[in-house]
Structure 1
Amino acid sequence: MTALPRMLIVSFSPIRSDPRVLKQVGLFSGKYHLITCGYGAAPDGVDEHFALTPDAVGWPSDKIGLLGRRYKRAYGQIPAVQQARKLLTGVPLDVVLANDLNTLPLALELEPKYGVHSDLHEFAPKEKEADLKWRLFVAPYMRWLCRTYLPRARSITTVAPRIAAQYTKDYGVAAQVVTNAAPFTEGTPQPVGETIKLIHNGAGQRYRKLENLIEAMRSAPPGVELDIFVMPNEPDYIAELKQTAADVPSVKFRDPVPYTELVETSRHYDVSLVFLPPTTFNLENSLPNKFFEAVQARLGVIVGPSPSMVEIVKQYGFGTVTPDFSPDALAATIQSLDRGQIMEWKRAADRAAEPLAAESQLKIWEAAIRALLPAAESAAS
């Protein structure tokens, strides 16, 4: 029997809780000799796993290297890079799927036999552009990474059309789009009860301005409630949000649930608030996980005028778009909610669940990796 091609998926993230990387693992498990490298325990379905320790951060902290624009040195000093080098050097590899820009130089350095596919989860040069220090000292380094290493990747994917277009415009590389779509889940739209139940889930980061959701709920009519499931990315900010919501009884904070339980948890709600003010380029152009999870849960959505989301909402009809990103605009939309309209959105989400599911998106990764391999090895996989 011909041995399966040896594939490494590398991500400076805890893979077991990283939705996008878990989809890659599920897709390639059993089709390749699958190796992973990331924080924490091995994800299910892999043949080998190289664990990074929690203290091995994946971002540059070499101030001399960054300030002096000695970027190769700055990259080499990243603890996760140093640790991954020790773990992976000498491991025979046919292909590498490198997640996010910060793993790409490492992946190329490992010299897999048939090359590297780069999956870019955001537009990296503007990832934390809301932070002045980051813009001044880290953004030039990220642009250097793009200029230097993206042309060396055999193929590239990213998460949304406008982000792909920006990579092409700025760095001359072609990027296909693999959205953060959730896997297809069987289900039927649930009736709207006496209480209209709204949900927001996501990262607890200040630049996302989650306080807008709370302010909008201050004027919500009786019988409309919002549950917020938020990851404790910035604990001080989450504490502030909870204090802000203390006098808004229609808002409740819930403990975050694992990615694998989000769709099932969301089924108990009616409308998902996917309201992300464009404080950064990536937020402005995002197609976030929660947007697609709402579809699989057969919910309606309320989105701000984020162009990529607006296009899909208008195409499939499973929600509405606020006129702008102000709390007042969101409040007015919440005040106008109608149970009959929400049921129409839920039925539209049901019709959209299959075409917007992850399965169609995963074929793009599958084809990209297969294209790296010679015909004989590709057939073996």
Structure 2
Amino acid sequence: MLILSLSPLRRDPRVLKQINLFRGRYRVITCGYGPAPDGVAEHVEIDPACIGWPRDPKRLALRRYRDVYWNVAGVAEAYRLLRSRRFGAVLANDLNTVPLALSLDSTHGVHADLHEFGPKEHFDKPAWRALVAPYMRWLCRTSLPRAASVTTVSAGIARQYGLDFGVQAAVVTNAAPYVRKQPRPTGSTIRLIHSTAGQRYRRIEDIIEAFRGIRSGIELDLIVMPNEPGYVDELRRLAGQVPAVRFRDPVPYEQLVDTVAEYDVAIAYLPPTNFNLAQALPNKFFEAVQARTGLIIGPSPAMVELVRRHGLGAVARDFSTAGLREVLDSLTPELVDGWKQHADQAAEVLSAEYQSRGWETAVAALLDPAADRA
């Protein structure tokens, strides 16, 4: 089977979970950016100069969407590398790979795994909303009904694909692999961690401000990926004014759960600045559960449901600095220790092994056990 993604595969947690799930069952071939992931039978590497998204405003404005798609450099390069091959099935990651996957010689068809709700991914940007959103809707209308099956990351996003495009998508969350750990007792200083992409729309500065003048015994470490370097520099300067906040360097994905386990509470705070963030159920949520730390979240519906069902942490009243500060002021070692015990009790059911059954079901429906697993 081919696992296809126009992303750096070794840094894409969701794709790595798929590879880990299937490499022992099928002959897995991967195609994407960067070097081969561990354990695959073969890897087809796309030239990093070949960008995976359209940069063609003229054709977008003219709504020549077929031309737009097949002139995306990453799509064209992947098609050139794969077009002479035959696969048992294709697992296509994200909307931008689905037409490509459907064009390949696949004996049993295509499963589409959608990491976002594509038509609203950057809906806050007027140019994107005017030019790219209609193109994304075209991709959904013309390609998703032709996929044999579809999964996505949360119930809210699955619901929207159904409402807008009639697509019945199953949910496979961004759960982390199960880790056998014991909760670490909370000391007199409560240590918090927030690991995030460094993107301005995430409003990370609000989290830093919540720690300004915080009482002693509460500290925050930030791990921020340099997606927008200028913005990350601003955050570092701001944190320099807040003694309770420090930055630490990013760590490889496979070390992230152990890193989070050094802390007592993880902040999974995603202001709903766009549709996908409002419906998010992110990696960091599940990594905290496997690390056996408590959680502080905002009122994000998908996260709230799990936090309350399993007793994993606290829900702030809103996404404001004041709302987060109220929760921080309520923290005690005893409260946090209770959250850690509940995380330990929920770790198995909230693990990737349990949550990934949607992929197992979809791929098993494509790849009959008696068929060639090429």
TM score, norm. by length of structure 1: 0.96
Which residue number in structure 2 is paired with residue 27 of structure 1? 21
Q: Deviations over 1:283-340 (max 9, x none)?
A: 0110000000000000100000000000000000010100111111101111111111
Cα distance in 1, alignment partners of residues 70 and 12 from structure 2: 25
Which residue number in structure 1 is paired with residue 275 of structure 2? 281
Following TM superposition, by how much is the alpha carbon of 1:374 offset from its aligned partner in structure 2, in angstroms? 3.8
Structure 1 residue runs of 4+, over 3 Å off?
none
Which residue number in structure 1 is paired with residue 236 of structure 2? 242
Cα distance in 2, alignment partners of residues 243 and 136 from structure 1: 35
Q: Residue 370 of structure 2: SS of its match in structure 1? A: helix
Q: Deviations over 1:336-377 (max 9, x none)?
A: 111110000011111011111110122221110110134522
Which residue number in structure 2 is paired with residue 354 of structure 1? 348
Q: Residue 225 of structure 1: SS of its match in structure 2? A: strand
Cα distance in 1, alignment partners of residues 286 and 138 from structure 2: 33
Cα distance in 2, alignment partners of residues 105 and 173 from structure 1: 16
Cα distance in 2, alignment partners of residues 42 and 373 from structure 1: 23
Residue pair 2:50, 2:73 contacting (<8 A) in 1 also: yes
Which residue number in structure 1 is paired with residue 94 of structure 2? 100
Cα distance in 2, alignment partners of residues 254 and 52 from structure 1: 31
- Residue type of the alignment partner of 1:158: T
Say whether residues 1:320 and 2:320 are aligned partners: no
Cα distance in 2, alignment partners of residues 77 and 69 from structure 1: 14
Following TM superposition, by how much is the alpha carbon of 1:276 offset from its aligned partner in structure 2, in angstroms? 0.7
Residue pair 2:349, 2:355 contacting (<8 A) in 1 also: no
RMSD: 1.2
Task: For 1:132-211, list aligned pairs within 5 A.
Answer: 132-211=126-205
Residue pair 2:9, 2:37 contacting (<8 A) in 1 also: yes
- Residue type of the alignment partner of 2:126: L
- Residue type of the alignment partner of 2:222: I
Cα distance in 2, alignment partners of residues 120 and 17 from structure 1: 17
Which residue number in structure 1 is paired with residue 121 of structure 2? 127
Following TM superposition, by how much is the alpha carbon of 1:239 offset from its aligned partner in structure 2, in angstroms? 0.5
Following TM superposition, by how much is the alpha carbon of 1:89 offset from its aligned partner in structure 2, in angstroms? 0.9
Task: For 1:354-373, list aligned pairs within 5 A.
Answer: 354-373=348-367
Residue pair 1:130, 1:207 contacting (<8 A) in 2 also: no
Following TM superposition, by how much is the alpha carbon of 1:219 offset from its aligned partner in structure 2, in angstroms? 3.3
Q: Deviations over 1:174-222 (max 9, x none)?
A: 0000000001001011011121100000211111110110111113211
Which residue number in structure 2 is paired with residue 306 of structure 1? 300
Which residue number in structure 2 is paired with residue 332 of structure 1? 326
Unaligned runs of 5+ in 1: 1-6
Residue pair 1:197, 1:270 contacting (<8 A) in 2 also: yes
Q: Residue 178 of structure 2: SS of its match in structure 1? A: coil
> Match for 1:118 among 112, 115, 125?
112
TM score, norm. by length of structure 2: 0.98
Residue pair 1:219, 1:331 contacting (<8 A) in 2 also: no
Aligned length: 374
Which residue number in structure 2 is paired with residue 4 of structure 1? none
Say whether residues 1:293 and 2:287 are aligned partners: yes
Task: For 1:11-50, list aligned pairs within 5 A.
Answer: 11-50=5-44
Q: Residue 267 of structure 2: SS of its match in structure 1? A: strand
Which residue number in structure 1 is paired with residue 83 of structure 2? 89
Q: Deviations over 1:113-163 (max 9, x none)?
A: 111000000111111122221111111110110011000000000000110
Which residue number in structure 1 is paired with residue 214 of structure 2? 220
- Residue type of the alignment partner of 1:71: Y
Unaligned runs of 5+ in 2: none
Residue pair 1:300, 1:349 contacting (<8 A) in 2 also: yes
Identity of aligned residues (%): 56
Residue pair 2:30, 2:36 contacting (<8 A) in 1 also: yes
